[in-house]
Structure 1
């Protein structure tokens, strides 16, 4: 099959309305499997036309097969991407007289009622919104989803790597059960290292029984010299472009450099935290640079205004977190600037892919490191990229808390579920099968579910824990830190960490939000609201973190390689070269090409094992070698503190059989609060879930297998 097999109306508009002389390779290659009804994973660099590759064949099938009702769900990980896609998909659907609608948390109740009365052909939504439709008493979910044929999952890698992916898969299985038919699944992704595995994941219970195909005509395999890595390597044909690494040392210096460089151009700056977005945005505005901000704690109106203004402007900067890493269209970019470093090569490729879209332009990215640790991390990322490496996307192990959430959600959806038939709703999907019985029994014994006459239904404890706002807390699988809404008059600016409102200060309390300084005038503690007015000076920005983990084994090993002399294949500024030389000199005792190093500092009474194995592998090693490590230490990616009286003989005995008795890391009880629905699990299973996710058994095994050198620091 080829483009000629598309519906004549769709083909006519591609040529005459869009003015395209033909389809791109991905779009051409996607026609056959999608028209045939196969599951598919469509891979292409950012701005590679993946949305069109999916929708042109699906619109053709919709017209040829005369699909009726809401037949296509288009799922995205963030609302902003859905908002951005809506006008484009509305235009494509109108070619064949079809309609598109949007449903997520910001869509009004009135609009939702209109959608329910007169469903569109294509619905743009999130997994959480699908869940809310399934459990809502206001939605006849059987009638609403009865014509569903296809589910398109955009930015599928963003789901697969965390618990939202398990939630998405479980919801898709319930939709399959609800409709009584196999539903075609199409995933779109820009950069992954294990495409067949990701497709297999997307197919869920249908993997192996439904036809599936990876469509990736624009990617080619590349060799790699990354040591001891089981990661698959894929490199994109996208041109490498102009990549630079610089060391600037501070936010103020970064702002000065961004102000001086590339005047008259449109620049997108990525930061690794909301606080840094605010500080850099404020510093740029104080230098007279037209600056816009985007991050998750800004109000919807603030984000939309920034993104719209940035898309229409030319000589300006937008400073953003990873929320703009995904395929949101902010117009033609001239430059991407990365403050510090992303945590993965995949993120870097997503970000550099925002540039070089216009004919005659090249992809580019300027790294500005604010400190030595970030310089080394950036060099490590770029070293991995130079080797053609891209991380595998892996679903988190043991999603027992998601199983608990899904059982409760199913009982809300169906009101009463048979205690011998509940598993059938997930069609044999991995963790939702027989192994989930122990979780079900716990839910019953602790009052989350009631059981009567062979039927299960929501119990009083579930009502107490999750029943607020009609069980809305049941639809999201991640825990958001409590924040206060910040308002100037009636206008919402965004949200801030309550710690900023309680810490002791002298003088007025100043906040930094939306790149501007605000003076707090009143705090409504009961309603979690903070009222402010514009002020001079510089306020403070702060948000608490909810994640766990740290740098990976592979990235930490790449940073070690840089310390041993490997330069990333990019342009290095004079400052970067000089600072890397200092780092290498300082690390002469902590890295060695022949293996790991144990250093003893008699002045500090400090013995340290320099593994460069990453946070999770080091946490595993510290738990396993409890007899020779310092207990209760703070884990990092580079080293582990050992007993001050350790001798080579004690080390040999303590590690003799370590690879055969690897232990899961200890779990802080407070960390369980970040695992949503953990309260609905037996405590031992909640702890085991988090401990498994904190462990890296492969990295720990590889590290133990290396030779060890002992070094006495002078």
Structure 2
């Protein structure tokens, strides 16, 4: 029986044999004939089933049998430069065997290589969406596009859900004016193949879907490791608690049992924290995530692929099929949050045909385990989430209008509108909307539009385009500085900084920090004293749990509530891939809630709980719906209470901190009375007061050319932005993007309708076990309870290394700058022998000079400063070096120093705690009085 390889050129078949390809995979068997028929094709298949060869072999067949001459014959688009690099490695052998030239072009390609490609273009060009944009801008490179016969878009599902993808769809329509080419998309398993196919093909083109089932055996196991006596000993070694030690121990066991293990975590912080703990145990490990340099990522990939380390810890950076060799097992630390992520991640194990992909999900608590169960069941049933396409994003449209103006010099608006409407994300674009975008671009002097509707480029157009090849926002980074030690501990993305505020707790490099000040380029933080009592408000790049997954978690709780304990354990084990201990732990969790006399929040019951000025709305609706409902409830409460309401959400809870106590029953009434139709307008109104909208508007405005790339959004007032941008396409796009990325209005309305109809009950209660056990994201990174002591020691160390300015108030001739540690006890003037010495901060030298020449004092403010210098000297005279230590801190002046000095006799730790409190208060308030 012939296989699909028989359809290929003999030279390709010969190369296949020499490279060890004996027979096609199922993906290749289905895809190669479809592609060779000339149809546009979307290939949907799990990772490791030969998708790349399924697309490239027919394309190479076409190249070696097609027209000769200069020009790109195949353009292979990937979303990542790393994938470009990987793809070149994989295709180099084919290049040698077939005499086909294959090269990469992206932002890092050296100038001499670009020049060479312009003069002698390769047959196959591997590139990114952004570099494809740049190719259109040069006349010589543009000419080479006329030869294109195949465009292959790898990981098309990843691009479909981003503005980069919207930009690419217009670029493909632009390319279609130069060449008649076949579109081939390669995608991981998705829940909406038709949407992705339409995205790839555009309006009016048929795209044939070739889908390979994910039922290449998937084997999942969800577990919460049991902490035993050995974990107590391990916890001391790892400076953590026994539960986390048990999780690490289980990871080590699985790694030792398997030849090669890929470990996925949900945040970069988790990757670094786990990497640090493994190294502490002497285990070989490599870490891979987006914040590392390209060189560090390549080194990690190579070390794993070559077997120098048996485990690679990574984030979503490894989801997209970069070749790192055979993987025998996948560990997912904590729930993967989404079904598609689990399928992609575990699908990386067992790449050979017929092999089972095995994965272990290590859950950290009951919510995490039940969420992982729901996701694993859905994965095995093929219930994958759909891709959320952007709907006519205006900034990507503005970007492409400018690109087309450069490409043609002059072109009619009608022609551009006709072209853009063929791109699937813009199928619903009206002429009114299009003209508003043109008007905005003309007002920003990025393009010129004459009375006849002809668009032409201006002097600003080309610089704008080179600054905005990418739709990825240009984000600045903020240094993180520890105010206790003074050292730099890392950096934060602009996206995080604008979404946070002073007092927020977050995690970086495995430690928890509280923000005490945000400046133009720096976030000043303090270590969290007692991490086990704190709730992180941000734990990294949070992956949102979908509505359907969260509702299934609620359904599992409901089933346990309705059944007897033992039978519930059996039912869970029969329905979900888990062990008896984990199932029993979850059943006990629900039972304890019932034993306390508290209602269980489920998919059919929302429970509103109160405790002092805290309200917890237990709602199993997922991140985006809870964010949506939380914003609406917060807005309504803030207007009623006349004060700010702080909000925190997870997939199962909305936590509110109120300015005064509110009863749970009042919140129940507020939600019950809420008309679903009001959700969207309430949110849009409240967005006008948020830094999130300001940040989005700045980024959208940059893409319209309304703000320069290097503008500092902090210097632009929100009021001014709204005044200038309100009612423009830029404002509309900023709001639309927030609704798309952060919120789920439709499912929020659905949840409210279910509450109004009685399908979901709404009850009030006191704070319960389940209500109080949320917001655990990031607690796996917590430091031990000894953190308080280590913070105080860091503070002491910093103060001892700080400098003071010693000044004799008796003779006024002696002054010296010394490290605190080097100050004698008590300080004595070497000139006159007096102990009446002030210990000033180095920047108080001017105050010292005023005290030295009191006859020159003119203002009351100057006299007050001199009085403080003498007060300082009196404290040092009375308490010696203890006073010097207190006065060297950044939070204590002469008036407050004497209150804490006495504690040094009783308890040194209390003394430094008081200094720590004073420093915190100083950092928090100094912007108001300095």
TM-score, scaled to structure 2 = 0.63
Alignment of 1:463-502 (within 5 A): 467=464, 471-483=465-477, 498-500=478-480, 502=481
Where 1:572 maps in the other structure, the secondary structure is coil
Q: 1:185, CA displacement in angstroms?
A: 0.8
Contact 2:633 2:671 in 1 (8 A): no
Counterpart CA distance in 1 for 2:104 and 2:673 is 59
Q: Is the 8 A contact 1:611 1:639 kept in 2?
A: yes
3-state SS, counterpart of residue 634 of structure 1? strand
Aligned-pair CA distance for 1:91: 2.0
Q: Is the 8 A contact 1:383 1:558 kept in 2?
A: no
1:9 aligns with 2:17: no
Structure 1 equivalent of residue 315 of structure 2? 321
Q: For 1:202-213, what aligned pairs fall within 5 Å after superposition? A: 202-205=200-203, 208=204, 210-213=205-208
Q: Quick check: 1:88 aligned with 2:90?
A: yes
Q: What's the offset of the Cα at 1:710?
A: 2.2
* CA drift at 1:700: 2.2
Query: Where do 1:425-464 residues align within 5 Å?
Result: 425-426=419-420, 428-429=422-423, 430-431=425-426, 434=431, 435-451=433-449, 455-458=454-457
Superposed CA deviations along residues 154-176 of structure 1, whole A, max 9, x for unmatched, are: 11111112222112112111211
Query: Per-residue deviation at 1:119?
Result: 0.7
Task: Give 3-state SS (helix, strand or coil) of 1:119's partner.
Answer: coil
> What is the rounded CA distance, in whole Å, between the counterparts of 1:329 and 1:281 in structure 2?
22
Contact 1:624 1:658 in 2 (8 A): no
* 1:643-662 correspondence to structure 2 within 5 Å: 644=663, 646=665, 650=669, 654-655=673-674, 657-658=675-676
Distance in 2, Cα, partners of 1:546 & 1:459: 42
Which of these residues, 260, 267, 274, is aligned with residue 273 of structure 1?
A: 267
Instruction: Summarize the Cα distance change of 1:383–1:81 in structure 2 as closer, same or farther, 3 Å threshold.
Output: same
Q: Equivalent residue for 1:57?
A: 58
Q: CA deviation at 1:548?
A: 8.6
User: Normalized per residue, which structure has more helix?
Assistant: 2
Go from structure 1 to structure 2 and tell me whether the alpha carbon gap of 1:371 and 1:437 turns closer, same or farther (over 3 Å shift): farther
Task: Give the SS at the match of 2:146.
Answer: coil
1:534-613 maps to which residues of 2 (within 5 A)?
550-564=544-558, 565=560, 567=572, 569-572=575-578, 576-577=582-583, 579-585=585-591, 589=598, 591=600, 595-601=604-610, 603-604=611-612, 609-613=617-621
SS class of match (1:45): coil
Q: Who is 2:735 aligned against?
A: 688
Instruction: With a CA cutoff of 8 Å and minimum separation of 6, indicate the structure with the bigger relative contact order.
Output: 1
Q: Which residue of 1 aligns with 2:787?
A: none
Larger Rg: 2
Q: Tell me the secondary structure at the aligned position of residue 479 of structure 1.
A: coil
1:265-290 alpha-carbon deviations (Å, 9 max, x no partner): 32211121222212211221222111
Q: Which residue of 1 aligns with 2:397?
A: 403
Give the one of 644, 669, 692 matched to 1:671. 692
What is the match of residue 252 of structure 2?
Answer: 259
- In the alignment, the residues of structure 1 paired with residue 34 and residue 449 of structure 2 have an alpha-carbon distance, to the nearest angstrom, of 45
Q: Note the alpha carbon deviations across 1:557-583, whole angstroms, 9 max, x for none.
A: 122223333737555356634542454
Q: Contact conserved, 2:220 with 2:361, CA < 8 A, in 1?
A: no
Of residues 104, 109, 114, the one that matches 1:112 is 114
Q: Distance in 2 between matches of 1:420 and 1:548?
A: 42
SS of the aligned residue for 1:332 comes to coil
**Could you say if the C-alpha distance between residues 119 and 590 of structure 1 is closer, same or farther in structure 2, counting changes exceeding 3 Å?**
farther
1:618 aligns with 2:626: yes
How much does 1:94 deviate?
A: 3.7
Q: Is the 8 A contact 1:267 1:337 kept in 2?
A: yes
The question of whether the paired residues in 1 share the 8 Å contact of 2:216 and 2:355 is answered with no
Residue 322 of structure 2: SS of its match in structure 1? Answer: coil
1:712 aligns with 2:712: no
Query: RMSD value over aligned CA atoms?
Result: 3.6
Q: For structure 2, which runs of at least 5 residues remain unmatched after alignment?
A: 227-240, 493-507, 511-520, 523-535, 561-570, 640-644, 657-661, 705-727, 768-930
- How many correspondences in the alignment? 644
Cα 1:367–1:442 shift into 2, 3 Å: same
Which residue number in structure 2 is paired with residue 158 of structure 1? 158
Q: Please say which of residues 21-30 and 672-681 is displaced more in the overlay.
A: 672-681
Find the partner of 2:215 among 237, 249, 259. Answer: 237
* Structure 1 alignment gaps of length 5 or more: 220-235, 484-497, 518-527, 530-541
The DSSP-based 3-state class of the residue aligned with 2:224 is strand
**C-alpha contact (below 8 Å) 1:379/1:562 kept by paired residues:** no
Cα distance in 1 for partners of 2:484, 2:668 equals: 54
1:186-225 alignment, distance < 5 Å:
186-205=184-203, 208=204, 210-216=205-211, 218-219=212-213
Provide the C-alpha distance between the structure 2 equivalents of 1:543 and 1:121, rounded to a whole number of angstroms. Answer: 51
